[in-house]
Amino acid sequence: MTLRISEIFHSIQGESSFAGWPCAFVRLSGCGHGCRFCDTAYAELPGTDMEIDTIIEMVAEIGSPLVEITGGEPLLQPEVHPLMEKLCNTGANVLLETGGFLSVANVDPRVHRIIDLKTPSSGVCKENNPENILLALRQKSSARSMFEFKIVVADREDYLWARQLLQETRLMDACTVIMGVIFGELEPDKLARWILDDRLNVKMQLQMHKYIWPPDMRGV
Protein backbone atom coordinates (compact mmCIF):
# COMPACT_ATOMS: atom_id res chain seq x y z
CA MET A 1 0.00 0.00 0.00
CA THR A 2 1.65 3.21 -1.18
CA LEU A 3 1.15 6.97 -1.07
CA ARG A 4 2.55 9.69 -3.31
CA ILE A 5 4.76 11.80 -1.05
CA SER A 6 6.08 15.27 -1.76
CA GLU A 7 8.32 15.53 1.31
CA ILE A 8 8.82 14.37 4.88
CA PHE A 9 10.60 16.76 7.22
CA HIS A 10 11.05 17.97 10.79
CA SER A 11 10.19 21.56 11.61
CA ILE A 12 8.43 23.94 13.97
CA GLN A 13 4.66 23.83 13.61
CA GLY A 14 3.91 27.26 12.14
CA GLU A 15 0.13 27.34 12.29
CA SER A 16 -2.87 25.91 14.15
CA SER A 17 -3.40 25.63 17.90
CA PHE A 18 -0.20 23.54 17.95
CA ALA A 19 1.96 26.39 16.61
CA GLY A 20 5.43 26.52 18.10
CA TRP A 21 5.81 22.79 18.78
CA PRO A 22 8.37 20.64 16.96
CA CYS A 23 6.52 18.47 14.45
CA ALA A 24 7.16 15.77 11.86
CA PHE A 25 5.43 16.69 8.60
CA VAL A 26 4.29 14.24 5.94
CA ARG A 27 3.32 16.20 2.83
CA LEU A 28 1.31 14.26 0.27
CA SER A 29 1.37 15.12 -3.43
CA GLY A 30 -1.58 16.26 -5.51
CA CYS A 31 -4.43 18.72 -5.15
CA GLY A 32 -5.73 20.31 -8.36
CA HIS A 33 -7.96 22.98 -6.82
CA GLY A 34 -5.76 25.91 -7.82
CA CYS A 35 -6.13 28.20 -4.82
CA ARG A 36 -4.86 31.65 -5.78
CA PHE A 37 -2.53 32.05 -2.80
CA CYS A 38 -1.30 28.45 -2.50
CA ASP A 39 2.16 28.46 -0.92
CA THR A 40 2.88 24.79 -1.58
CA ALA A 41 2.22 24.61 -5.31
CA TYR A 42 5.23 22.32 -5.63
CA ALA A 43 3.14 19.62 -3.98
CA GLU A 44 1.25 19.37 -7.29
CA LEU A 45 4.27 17.56 -8.72
CA PRO A 46 4.00 13.75 -8.84
CA GLY A 47 6.17 13.11 -5.79
CA THR A 48 7.58 9.73 -4.77
CA ASP A 49 5.63 6.53 -4.22
CA MET A 50 6.31 5.27 -0.71
CA GLU A 51 5.04 2.30 1.26
CA ILE A 52 3.06 3.20 4.37
CA ASP A 53 5.44 1.23 6.59
CA THR A 54 8.39 3.18 5.12
CA ILE A 55 6.65 6.48 5.90
CA ILE A 56 6.02 5.38 9.48
CA GLU A 57 9.68 4.35 9.84
CA MET A 58 10.84 7.78 8.60
CA VAL A 59 8.51 9.54 11.02
CA ALA A 60 9.80 7.34 13.85
CA GLU A 61 13.39 8.31 12.98
CA ILE A 62 12.46 11.98 13.36
CA GLY A 63 11.23 11.15 16.85
CA SER A 64 8.58 13.85 17.26
CA PRO A 65 5.42 13.00 19.25
CA LEU A 66 3.52 15.46 17.02
CA VAL A 67 2.92 14.42 13.40
CA GLU A 68 1.04 16.36 10.74
CA ILE A 69 -0.36 14.93 7.52
CA THR A 70 -0.69 17.71 4.96
CA GLY A 71 -0.47 18.41 1.25
CA GLY A 72 -1.41 19.26 -1.43
CA GLU A 73 -4.73 17.78 -0.49
CA PRO A 74 -4.03 14.65 1.57
CA LEU A 75 -7.60 13.33 1.48
CA LEU A 76 -7.38 12.80 -2.29
CA GLN A 77 -5.40 9.62 -1.63
CA PRO A 78 -7.60 6.98 0.06
CA GLU A 79 -4.52 5.29 1.50
CA VAL A 80 -4.03 8.26 3.81
CA HIS A 81 -6.65 6.77 6.12
CA PRO A 82 -4.68 3.61 7.02
CA LEU A 83 -1.56 5.80 7.34
CA MET A 84 -3.27 8.02 9.92
CA GLU A 85 -4.66 5.00 11.75
CA LYS A 86 -1.23 3.36 11.99
CA LEU A 87 0.38 6.60 13.15
CA CYS A 88 -2.25 6.95 15.86
CA ASN A 89 -1.53 3.37 16.91
CA THR A 90 2.11 4.34 17.54
CA GLY A 91 0.93 6.80 20.19
CA ALA A 92 1.70 9.90 18.13
CA ASN A 93 -0.48 12.98 18.34
CA VAL A 94 -1.65 13.08 14.71
CA LEU A 95 -2.86 16.22 12.94
CA LEU A 96 -4.53 16.38 9.55
CA GLU A 97 -4.46 19.65 7.63
CA THR A 98 -6.90 19.63 4.74
CA GLY A 99 -8.03 22.24 2.26
CA GLY A 100 -11.63 21.65 3.29
CA PHE A 101 -12.86 20.54 -0.13
CA LEU A 102 -13.50 16.98 0.99
CA SER A 103 -15.40 15.64 3.99
CA VAL A 104 -13.44 14.55 7.05
CA ALA A 105 -16.28 12.26 8.18
CA ASN A 106 -14.24 9.08 7.68
CA VAL A 107 -11.06 10.33 9.34
CA ASP A 108 -9.93 8.30 12.38
CA PRO A 109 -11.57 10.00 15.39
CA ARG A 110 -8.19 10.16 17.17
CA VAL A 111 -6.87 12.55 14.51
CA HIS A 112 -7.06 16.29 15.17
CA ARG A 113 -8.57 17.85 12.04
CA ILE A 114 -7.38 21.30 10.89
CA ILE A 115 -9.70 22.47 8.13
CA ASP A 116 -9.13 25.45 5.86
CA LEU A 117 -12.09 27.61 4.96
CA LYS A 118 -11.33 29.24 1.62
CA THR A 119 -12.19 32.93 1.29
CA PRO A 120 -13.42 34.75 -1.84
CA SER A 121 -9.94 35.95 -2.80
CA SER A 122 -8.75 32.35 -3.07
CA GLY A 123 -10.90 31.82 -6.15
CA VAL A 124 -12.27 28.54 -4.80
CA CYS A 125 -14.56 29.77 -2.04
CA LYS A 126 -17.56 27.90 -3.49
CA GLU A 127 -15.71 24.60 -3.11
CA ASN A 128 -15.73 24.66 0.71
CA ASN A 129 -17.42 21.48 1.92
CA PRO A 130 -20.24 22.52 4.31
CA GLU A 131 -20.37 19.03 5.82
CA ASN A 132 -17.16 19.73 7.73
CA ILE A 133 -18.78 22.60 9.61
CA LEU A 134 -21.80 20.44 10.42
CA LEU A 135 -19.54 17.68 11.74
CA ALA A 136 -17.78 20.14 14.04
CA LEU A 137 -21.05 21.57 15.30
CA ARG A 138 -22.41 18.10 16.12
CA GLN A 139 -19.49 17.25 18.39
CA LYS A 140 -19.29 20.60 20.19
CA SER A 141 -20.49 19.06 23.45
CA SER A 142 -17.46 16.77 23.69
CA ALA A 143 -14.82 17.56 26.29
CA ARG A 144 -12.09 18.04 23.69
CA SER A 145 -12.91 19.11 20.17
CA MET A 146 -10.94 17.31 17.48
CA PHE A 147 -11.75 20.07 14.99
CA GLU A 148 -10.34 23.47 14.30
CA PHE A 149 -10.83 25.78 11.33
CA LYS A 150 -8.33 28.11 9.71
CA ILE A 151 -9.30 31.19 7.72
CA VAL A 152 -6.58 33.17 5.96
CA VAL A 153 -7.64 36.56 4.59
CA ALA A 154 -6.16 38.81 1.95
CA ASP A 155 -8.39 41.87 2.29
CA ARG A 156 -11.42 43.43 3.94
CA GLU A 157 -13.84 41.51 1.68
CA ASP A 158 -12.39 38.21 2.88
CA TYR A 159 -12.73 39.30 6.48
CA LEU A 160 -16.36 40.35 6.10
CA TRP A 161 -17.16 37.05 4.40
CA ALA A 162 -15.53 35.16 7.27
CA ARG A 163 -17.27 37.25 9.93
CA GLN A 164 -20.68 36.56 8.40
CA LEU A 165 -20.00 32.83 8.10
CA LEU A 166 -18.84 32.56 11.71
CA GLN A 167 -21.73 34.58 13.08
CA GLU A 168 -24.32 32.59 11.10
CA THR A 169 -22.94 29.14 11.95
CA ARG A 170 -21.72 29.93 15.50
CA LEU A 171 -18.73 27.77 14.67
CA MET A 172 -16.69 29.72 17.23
CA ASP A 173 -18.82 28.16 19.98
CA ALA A 174 -17.98 24.65 18.80
CA CYS A 175 -14.22 24.70 18.30
CA THR A 176 -11.17 26.87 17.82
CA VAL A 177 -11.23 29.16 14.80
CA ILE A 178 -7.92 30.63 13.73
CA MET A 179 -7.68 33.67 11.50
CA GLY A 180 -4.54 34.95 9.82
CA VAL A 181 -3.35 37.02 6.88
CA ILE A 182 -2.02 36.03 3.49
CA PHE A 183 1.70 36.68 3.88
CA GLY A 184 2.60 39.87 2.02
CA GLU A 185 -1.01 40.71 1.05
CA LEU A 186 -2.47 42.20 4.23
CA GLU A 187 -0.78 43.88 7.19
CA PRO A 188 -1.44 41.93 10.41
CA ASP A 189 -2.36 45.07 12.39
CA LYS A 190 -5.36 45.65 10.13
CA LEU A 191 -6.75 42.19 10.79
CA ALA A 192 -6.09 42.58 14.50
CA ARG A 193 -8.08 45.82 14.58
CA TRP A 194 -11.02 44.30 12.69
CA ILE A 195 -11.16 41.34 15.08
CA LEU A 196 -11.04 43.60 18.12
CA ASP A 197 -13.59 46.09 16.79
CA ASP A 198 -16.06 43.28 16.10
CA ARG A 199 -15.36 41.39 19.34
CA LEU A 200 -14.83 38.31 17.18
CA ASN A 201 -13.92 35.28 19.30
CA VAL A 202 -11.17 33.90 17.06
CA LYS A 203 -7.50 33.24 17.63
CA MET A 204 -5.35 35.46 15.43
CA GLN A 205 -2.19 33.84 14.17
CA LEU A 206 0.68 34.56 11.80
CA GLN A 207 2.52 31.86 9.87
CA MET A 208 5.40 31.43 12.29
CA HIS A 209 7.63 29.47 9.91
CA LYS A 210 7.60 32.34 7.40
CA TYR A 211 9.14 34.62 10.01
CA ILE A 212 11.74 32.10 11.21
CA TRP A 213 12.91 31.15 7.70
CA PRO A 214 12.59 32.75 4.24
CA PRO A 215 8.89 32.61 3.30
CA ASP A 216 9.50 30.55 0.15
CA MET A 217 11.79 27.98 1.78
CA ARG A 218 10.74 24.33 1.44
CA GLY A 219 11.09 21.69 4.11
CA VAL A 220 10.17 24.00 6.97
Ordered by where they begin, the domains of the chain are: 2-212 (3.20.20.70)
What is the predicted pLDDT for the residue at 68? 98
Helix (DSSP H) and strand (DSSP E) numbers for the chain: 6, 9
* pTM over cut 0.85: yes
pLDDT of residue 116: 97
When pLDDT is averaged across residues 97-123 and rounded to a whole number, the result is 97
CA–CA separation, 69 vs 56, rounded Å?
12
**Arithmetic mean of pLDDT over the chain:** 95
| Cis before 219 (ω within 30) | no
Neighbours of 98 (CB within 10 A): 24
Confidence tier at 216 by pLDDT (50, 70, 90): confident
The neighbour count for residue 40, using CB atoms within 10 Å, is 15
Whether residue 78 contacts residue 52, with contact meaning beta carbons closer than 8 Å, is answered with: no
Which percentage of the chain shows pLDDT scores above 70? 98
Distance between CA atoms of 97 and 80, rounded to whole angstroms?
12
Assign 143 a pLDDT band (cuts: 50, 70, 90).
low
Cα-only R_g, the chain: 17
* Residue 220 pLDDT: 81
Q: With a cut of 60, say whether residue 100 has pLDDT above it.
A: yes
Percentage of residues in the chain having pLDDT higher than 90: 87
Model confidence at 101: pLDDT above 70 = yes
Average pLDDT for 166-171: 96
Provide CB contacts within 8 A for 2, sequence distance 6+: 49, 50, 51, 52, 79
Q: Which of 198, 35, 205, 61 is nearest to 126 (CA)?
A: 35
Q: How are beta strands 203-204 and 176-181 bridged, if at all?
A: parallel
Confidence of residue 142 (pLDDT cuts 50, 70, 90): low
Question: Quick check: 82 pLDDT over 70?
Answer: yes
The pLDDT score that the predictor gives to residue 64 is 97
Mean pLDDT in residue range 69-89: 98
- Per-residue pLDDT, 141: 57
Question: What would the pLDDT profile of 11-56 be if each residue is shown by its tens digit?
Answer: 999 999 999 999 999 999 999 999 998 989 999 999 999 999 999 9
pLDDT recorded at residue 120: 98
